[in-house]
Structure 1
Amino acid sequence: MSRPLTATINLAALRANYLLAKRLHGGKVLAIVKANAYGHGAARCAQALAEVADGFGVAAIEEAIQLREAGIRQPILLLEGWFEASELPLIERYDLWTAMHSLSQVADIEAATLSRPLTVWAKIDSGMHRLGIAPSDFPELHARLEATGKVGKIVAMTHFARADELDCDTTPRQSACFMAAIAGLKVETSLCNSGGILAWPDLHGDWGRAGVMLYGGTAADRQLPDWPQAVMNLDSRIMAVRELSAGEPIGYGGGFVTERPTRVGVVACGYADGYPRVVPSDTPVLIDGQRGRIIGRVSMDMLTVDLTEHPHAGVGTAVRLWGEGLPAAEIAASAGTIDYELFCNVKRARFEYQG
């Protein structure tokens, strides 16, 4: 019998979330499967989306090659572009789309020997101040790319820094900056990540980039009747039960002390599995489908839960760490982080795919 920690991936929910993103966006939408599909398994998720997705987005060429070798034939965009000019032949070989984010990269294309034109997504820094060319430099970049004769299509893209904040004017200002930069030029556009797709319908452009919303994660302060659908259920089981008197410390540091006679369940999941060590006592879990709470500090391989109000729970009882009925965002809030990080950190779990 193997360790009971299991991440069950609901591929039907993944497809439903993608189709919702496409319906909300109104144009074409890339399914972002970088970082192993946010911890959900890039190849399996891409295969499940292949019949409906307009294309996929990954961070780097290693992730793209993995998808091609898994049989994915749809367009794949390298969101970070190339790191060295020597990657351009690989980009051509694997028929990839590529982002670019600096004028210096134009010279790489000018010097490259290519047998077919590239599709280039040129990133404009409209206010994120991470990657991207200055808006004033975009006309030069556009002209130079067209002059190479090696670029078949140019998509102008930008990235919103605060799309999840509906009461903030940063996103409209970024959009205005972006639109001014491309004025008069013939390009397709991509502005919106998940937060933009959900919260800023007037700013969508030609291409959306759906990331965490595909996985049922929190992308904006907006709830819809059919979203989010949880894609990952992270479940384990109780491996031991202790009966403690009042006044007994639990776990490392003894930070939690029982205030009454307490039944304690030990669960096979810890921070080495990706569950956040920093969550406080009272962080919720589902014990056989009913809300319960963590007590004591999360350790490397185990955590402890209060079974006092769950008299029928015992060794072997199912415990949900997050998923359907317990959003990962709720656990992330307890940890002072975001659900993206929780998904990406899952490891040592047995992955099972359904739907």
Structure 2
Amino acid sequence: MSRPLTATIDLAALRHNYLLAKRLHGGKVLAIVKANAYGHGAVRCAQALADIADGFGVAAIEEAIQLREAGIVQPILLLEGWFEASELAQIARYDLWTALHSLWQVDELAASPLEHRFTVWAKMDSGMHRLGLHPDDFRTAVERLRASGKVRDLVAMSHFARADELDSDATPKQIARFEAATAGLNLPTSLSNSGGILAWSHAHGDWGRAGIMLYGGAGTDRVLPDWPQPVMQLDSKVISVRDLPAGEAIGYGARFVTDAPTRVGVVACGYADGYPRVVPTGTPVLVNGQRSRIIGRVSMDMMTIDLTGLDADIGTPVRLWGDGLPASEIAAAAGTIDYELFCNVKRARFDYQG
């Protein structure tokens, strides 16, 4: 019998979330499956979306090749572009789309001996200050790309830094910079990540890029009648039970001491499985659907939970996050975001349904 930690991936919920993104955006939408589909399994997620997705987005060429070799024929965009000129041959071979974010990439593309004409998403730094051409350089870069003879299709893109903050003026400022720098270029545009799709409808452009919302994550604080559904359910079981009197320390560092007689359950999940070690006592779990809490420090392979007053014993199912317990709640307890929780899951058995 295998260790009971299971990540159940609801592919029907994934499809629902993609169609929701399409409906809210109104244009075409890339399904972002980088980082192994945010920990959900890139190949299986892409295959589940293949008949409805306008295309896919990945971080690097290795991720794109994995999808192509698994039979994905839809457009695949390299969101970070290429890292050295030798990759252009692979981009051509696998018929990939590529982002372009720097003037050196303009030079390399123009100088390429390849006969292939590329689909390029030219990225502007409209205020995030991570990747992207400076707005003052953008028009010249586009003109050079058009004159190079190496470009088949060209899209202007940027990325929001604070789209999840609905009371911030950062996103309107980024939109204004982008619109000013692209005026008159007659290019299709892509601005909206999940937060943009959910909350900034006047900036949707031609292409959206749905990431965390595909997986039921919190793209913004905006609440919709039809909200993205959780895709991953992370579940384990109680593997040991003991009754302790008041005054007993539990786990490493005696971080928790019982203040009353306590029934303690041990659950097969720890930080080596991707569950955050830093969560405090009181972080919620669902024990056979009943809300309880972690007590003491999460260790490498196990955690201890409070079973006092609950109908639970060895073998009782425990939900770490998913339906009934949003991953964002666990992330908040850990001082992080649900993206990181999903990406860190390992050693779990993955069960794809729907």
Same fold (TM over 0.5): yes
TM-score range, shorter chain: over 0.9
Separation in 2 of the partners of 1:327 and 1:94?
38
**Alignment of 1:334 onto 2:333:** yes
Cα displacement (A) at 1:224: 1.6
Cα displacement (A) at 1:116: 2.7
- Which residue in the other structure is 1:325 paired with? 324
- Which residue in the other structure is 2:32 paired with? 32
Separation in 2 of the partners of 1:222 and 1:37?
23
- For the Cα contact (< 8 Å) 2:239–2:267, is it kept in 1? yes
Once the two structures are superposed, residues 197-237 of structure 1 have per-residue CA deviations (whole angstroms, 9 ceiling, x without a partner) of 00101111000000000000001011122212110000000
Separation in 1 of the partners of 2:228 and 2:318?
21
Separation in 2 of the partners of 1:3 and 1:138?
53
Alignment of 1:235-314 (within 5 A): 235-310=235-310, 312-314=311-313
Separation in 2 of the partners of 1:341 and 1:22?
25
Separation in 1 of the partners of 2:141 and 2:67?
30
Cα displacement (A) at 1:296: 0.5
**3-state SS in 1 of match to 2:177:** helix
- Which residue in the other structure is 2:59 paired with? 59
- Which residue in the other structure is 1:181 paired with? 181
- Which residue in the other structure is 1:219 paired with? 219
- Which residue in the other structure is 1:97 paired with? 97
Count, aligned residues: 354
Separation in 2 of the partners of 1:185 and 1:262?
68
Cα displacement (A) at 1:113: 2.1
Separation in 2 of the partners of 1:284 and 1:127?
37
Cα displacement (A) at 1:111: 1.5
- For the Cα contact (< 8 Å) 2:293–2:306, is it kept in 1? yes
Whichever residue aligns with residue 6 of structure 2, its letter is: T
**3-state SS in 1 of match to 2:214:** helix
- For the Cα contact (< 8 Å) 2:249–2:256, is it kept in 1? yes
- Which residue in the other structure is 1:19 paired with? 19
Separation in 1 of the partners of 2:158 and 2:309?
51
TM-score (norm 2): 0.99
Cα displacement (A) at 1:347: 0.2
**3-state SS in 2 of match to 1:24:** helix
Whichever residue aligns with residue 137 of structure 1, its letter is: D
**3-state SS in 2 of match to 1:12:** helix
Cα displacement (A) at 1:115: 2.9
Cα displacement (A) at 1:117: 1.0
Separation in 1 of the partners of 2:226 and 2:12?
13
Separation in 2 of the partners of 1:103 and 1:345?
34
Q: CA RMSD in A?
A: 0.6
TM-score (norm 1): 0.99
Separation in 1 of the partners of 2:285 and 2:183?
51
Matched-pair identity in %: 76
